[in-house]
A and B are shown apart, each in its own frame.
Chain A
Amino acid sequence: MSDLAHDAAVDLGHPEQESTGVENRKLGMWVFLSSEFLFFGALISTYLLYSNRAGFQGTYPAEVYDIPFTSVSSFVLLMSSLTMVLAHNALSGNDQNGARTWLFATAALGAIFLAGQVFEFTEFIVEAGMTLSSNPAASAFYVLTGFHGAHVAIGVIMLLSLWGMSRRKEGLSERQGMNLELVGLYWHFVDIIWIIIFTVVYLLSIRPA
């Protein structure tokens, strides 16, 4: 019995599991991500509610955005989705070296994105004087993008642990191959959320008159 089948199907001792034909962990990840959409949905709605409400004290997020800078870091994150696909592809073709390289590249791009976010936050706080307590719009901005950043950070940690495993001499097995697919799903999700955030929070925000 293969490793994969062992872990997935024999989970419970029934051979005819996966009535849906989708492996348990993968289905679980899909279900989890559908919940995450509402998590970010609530945060983005809150931001939209406050971002263009007139009359707040202090700096509005829309006043301090550095769109060219954030465009570049968004591009970096987008590219990491590409490298993730390449890693997955390599592993399907049993190209351990390729998988290892692309995994590392994905983690590195994620880390660069995070560094960009840290830089951006410092700029906003130190240079522009917009803090979590400036006004509800600023609160919403930091908490929304902060939670997204936390998701990216968790993704980077998962990628790095996969990368670490891929360096063992047996490489990534089928079992971890499944893990790579799961991490990939998560990673693409985090990317998609960022595309939404970049569009509606950064590009479409206007400072109220």
Chain B
Amino acid sequence: MTATAERPQTTIFRRPSSTTGFWSWITTVDHKKIGIMYGYAAFVFFILGGVEALLLRIQLAQANAEFLTAGAYNALFTMHGTTMIFLFVMPVGAAFMNYLLPLLIGARDVAFPRLNALSWWIFLFGGIFLYSTFIFGTSAPPVGIDGVGGNLPAGGGPGTFNFLADSPNGGWFGYQPNAGPFYSAGTAMDYWALGLQILGLASLISSINFIVTILNMRAKGMRLLRMPVFVWMSTVVAFLLLFSLPIIAVALFMVMFDRQFGSLFFQPVGGGDPVLWQHLFWLFGHPEVYVLILPAMGIVSEVLPVFSRKPLFGYSAIVFAGAAIGFLGFGVWAHHMLASGITPVAQAAFGLATMTIAIPTGIKIFNWIGTMWMGRIQLKTPMLFAIGFIAMFTIGGLSGVIHSIVPSDWQQTDTYFIVAHLHYVLFGGSIFGIFAGMYYWFPKLTGRVMNDKLGKLHFWLMLIGFNLTFAPMHWLGLQGMIRRTWKYAPESGLEPWNVAVTIGAFIIALSIAVFMFNWYNSRRRGEASGLDPWDARTIEWMSPNPTPEYNFAVPPVVIRLDHFWHLKYDQDEDGRAVPKADKDEILAQIEDEQLNPVVPIQLPNPTYFPIVMALGIPIVFYGIIYHTTLWGKALIVIGVIISLAALIGWGMEPLEEPHEESESDAEIATVGGEEAGIAEGAGEDADV
């Protein structure tokens, strides 16, 4: 069996060694455990963000309602948007990448397992830091200069519930100077700015880790153009993050200096330029929307071929279109600023550049449809979500192209039309794709399949609820309902559709409840999946379910795209797939081989240091918010000491404890390669 269970020596204090139970999760460096933690944490934040959305919808279900105060409404939509983007869709993408990337490329872990743990803990603490604003944050009326304006009416405005009004309220893009020191006095926006800074650090570390993993850790024969599309989309995401996060980091630092230390970057009173914030934010923000959608595109590109019983149509076109989207994504940011007074030439240029993005996106959509075309489609739950993704995302994409027509955008910007668009791409796109992935890869986590009937119920409820919620927002917006309004007049005639929207929102909530029940129930009682529940194509299914700690006892040697499929199927003269006669034996042999390592497999040992190091970071940031007080300064010092101490301990602790028998895995790998009878011509493929 694996060698990880033995108790290792350690440098400073006894090294953790539990492989099950609470401490195993705290100290783990296993990419699968980290992925699972990412997933559950993200889902908790999804529920929080969802509750916030429902509160918003209750307020809007009635004209002139006085359920939430304006202050509470501002805080809730800000926290809702921030949560959904930074605390749900991004980390759930990270969850998929963590769990799947090593499996999809045939590796035993990521390139830097401990850094991986570090980025997860930083993410978790960053999310908690941001949400601690509900307890500690304050949000006062504007101060200084002229004392008017700002985003908070005196007392929060009329309404029954004002309880969350002391939270960040500058919107998810924190426009300046509204979110600056004068118009958003109090600490709430500091929690927002510094919280995002922490979350950005977590994403930066994991993007570096994923890039190195993908470039360096591929199994034998896993050439770049044999990688599954999900791996490719993750690569693009990692590069987008790598180049856009430093920009938002700088912008958020400037906000921090403006708010805390009196600099004037974005403050018009001192000559600062608020539009600079918009440029820096959207230079990050537009690539960010691809960070949110590309993982989902990767997921559906895996799901569609499996349930259409056909190879992905135009693999390389999809890969290159994904890369093209990544490149173009850096050149269109000002389409978010068409009403900010940038020059007409810039408006035209950015409008046109935006339209070009429709080309690679269209290529993908046609390829997905081409994949289903003439396929023997099996409408299982993952497939339903994948098809839902294509349809809903296309609607969102079309309204997106409409925004790129400048005069048209002037009509739409800051209305519910935008809200409709962004939810069609984010919810109809990302979230449908994510659910497709959850149903599809659930067996890898549990060795069981999720209940298909409940899955279908979830899908149809969500599809209906989703469209009831967001489709009417298109015409509400065109009728003039502005975004981020907490009230509308009865005579505006907007009420009936707003009632429909709120009903839709609750149907979505119901569908999520069905999903949660199904997940919970299927973990114990779901049907056993075996090795290959979907008759899949990619090599992650060559590792048993649930995935063993070492992923692959015998790392696969890949000889072509859809390697696993070709182990099971031959082609007849017409190019049709026919199952090999001994398909079942092949599967049984693979499972047996993968379950029984020939020699002990050495894995990275668990460690305390990543979580300790991550813990220091929010402490420093709390200190910065209260740096004018003595205890604020003390917090900074304490946080730095904690992180540095952990860093030193980390540096002295080897990744793996030294081992008695140092069998090299080369033996295992070669043995496996020969056993599978695919050794020839597969060894020399270290290409880039």
Residues on A close to B: CB < 8 A? Answer: 1, 6-7, 10-22, 24-25, 27-28, 31-32, 34-36, 38-39, 41-43, 46, 49-50, 53, 55-57, 131-133, 135-136, 139-140, 142-143, 147, 161
Residue of chain B at shortest CB distance from A27? B212
Q: Is B122 an interface residue (CB 8 A)?
A: no
User: Cβ of A42: which chain B residues have Cβ within 8 Å of it?
Assistant: 246-247, 250-251, 280, 283
Which single member of A17, A22, A38, A136 contacts B273 (CB below 8 Å)?
A: A136
Residues on B close to A: CB < 8 A? Answer: 102, 107-113, 204, 208-209, 211-212, 215-220, 222, 242-247, 249-251, 253-254, 257-258, 261-265, 270-273, 276, 280, 283, 550, 555, 601-604, 651, 654-656, 662, 664-666, 669, 686-688
CB-based contact A19/B688 at 8 Å: yes
Given the known interface contacts A10-B656, A27-B215, the answer about A136 and B264 at a Cβ–Cβ threshold of 8 Å is: yes
Residue of chain A at shortest CB distance from B688? A20
User: Cβ of A36: which chain B residues have Cβ within 8 Å of it?
Assistant: 246
CB-based contact B654/A7 at 8 Å: yes
CB-based contact B271/A136 at 8 Å: yes
Known: A12-B109, A31-B212. 7 other contacts (CB 8 A): A41-B246, A56-B270, A136-B265, A139-B265, A140-B265, A143-B263, A161-B651
Which single member of B208, B215, B251, B654 contacts A32 (CB below 8 Å)?
A: B208
Inter-chain CA distance A13–B2, complex, in Å, is 12
CB-based contact B215/A19 at 8 Å: yes
Interface centre among B102, B204, B250, B262, by most A CB within 10 Å? B250
CB-based contact A16/B220 at 8 Å: yes
User: Cβ of A140: which chain B residues have Cβ within 8 Å of it?
Assistant: 265
User: Cβ of B254: which chain A residues have Cβ within 8 Å of it?
Assistant: 46, 139, 143
Which single member of A13, A32, A143 contacts B602 (CB below 8 Å)?
A: A13
22 A-B pairs (CB sep. < 8 Å): A10-B602, A10-B665, A12-B110, A12-B113, A12-B604, A14-B108, A15-B664, A15-B665, A20-B688, A27-B212, A28-B208, A28-B209, A28-B212, A31-B211, A31-B242, A34-B242, A38-B247, A42-B251, A132-B257, A132-B262, A136-B264, A136-B270
Minimum distance in angstroms from A19 CB to a CB of chain B: 5
Minimum distance in angstroms from B288 CB to a CB of chain A: 14
A-B contact count (CB 8 A): 160
User: Cβ of B249: which chain A residues have Cβ within 8 Å of it?
Assistant: 39
CB-based contact A139/B257 at 8 Å: yes
CB-based contact A46/B264 at 8 Å: no
Which single member of A10, A19, A21, A133 contacts B270 (CB below 8 Å)?
A: A133
Minimum distance in angstroms from A202 CB to a CB of chain B: 20
Minimum distance in angstroms from B109 CB to a CB of chain A: 5
Residue of chain B at shortest CB distance from A24? B111
Which single member of A14, A143, A147 contacts B219 (CB below 8 Å)?
A: A14
User: Cβ of A11: which chain B residues have Cβ within 8 Å of it?
Assistant: 109, 111-113, 604, 655
Minimum distance in angstroms from B584 CB to a CB of chain A: 29
Residue of chain B at shortest CB distance from A55? B271
Residue of chain A at shortest CB distance from B214? A19
User: Cβ of A10: which chain B residues have Cβ within 8 Å of it?
Assistant: 602, 656, 665
Inter-chain CA distance A41–B665, complex, in Å, is 44
Inter-chain CA distance A143–B257, complex, in Å, is 8
Inter-chain CA distance A24–B264, complex, in Å, is 41
Minimum distance in angstroms from A204 CB to a CB of chain B: 20
Which single member of A17, A142, A161 contacts B216 (CB below 8 Å)?
A: A17
Minimum distance in angstroms from B124 CB to a CB of chain A: 22
CB-based contact B216/A22 at 8 Å: yes
CB-based contact B108/A13 at 8 Å: yes
Inter-chain CA distance A25–B216, complex, in Å, is 11
User: Cβ of B109: which chain A residues have Cβ within 8 Å of it?
Assistant: 11-13
CB-based contact A1/B262 at 8 Å: no
Instruction: Name the 7 nearest CB pairs between A and B, nearest first.
Output: A139-B263, A39-B246, A42-B250, A133-B262, A15-B666, A38-B246, A12-B108
Inter-chain CA distance A7–B114, complex, in Å, is 13
Minimum distance in angstroms from B681 CB to a CB of chain A: 15
Minimum distance in angstroms from B272 CB to a CB of chain A: 5
Inter-chain CA distance A42–B250, complex, in Å, is 7
CB-based contact B270/A46 at 8 Å: no
Minimum distance in angstroms from A123 CB to a CB of chain B: 19
Which single member of A6, A12, A31, A136 contacts B208 (CB below 8 Å)?
A: A31
Minimum distance in angstroms from B224 CB to a CB of chain A: 9
User: Cβ of A31: which chain B residues have Cβ within 8 Å of it?
Assistant: 208, 211-212, 242
CB-based contact A28/B112 at 8 Å: yes
Inter-chain CA distance A174–B249, complex, in Å, is 35
Inter-chain CA distance A25–B108, complex, in Å, is 17
Minimum distance in angstroms from B232 CB to a CB of chain A: 15
CB-based contact B662/A1 at 8 Å: yes
CB-based contact B243/A35 at 8 Å: yes
Minimum distance in angstroms from B553 CB to a CB of chain A: 11
Given the known interface contacts A15-B664, A36-B246, A143-B257, the answer about A24 and B112 at a Cβ–Cβ threshold of 8 Å is: yes
CB-based contact A132/B263 at 8 Å: yes
Inter-chain CA distance A133–B244, complex, in Å, is 28
CB-based contact A53/B271 at 8 Å: yes
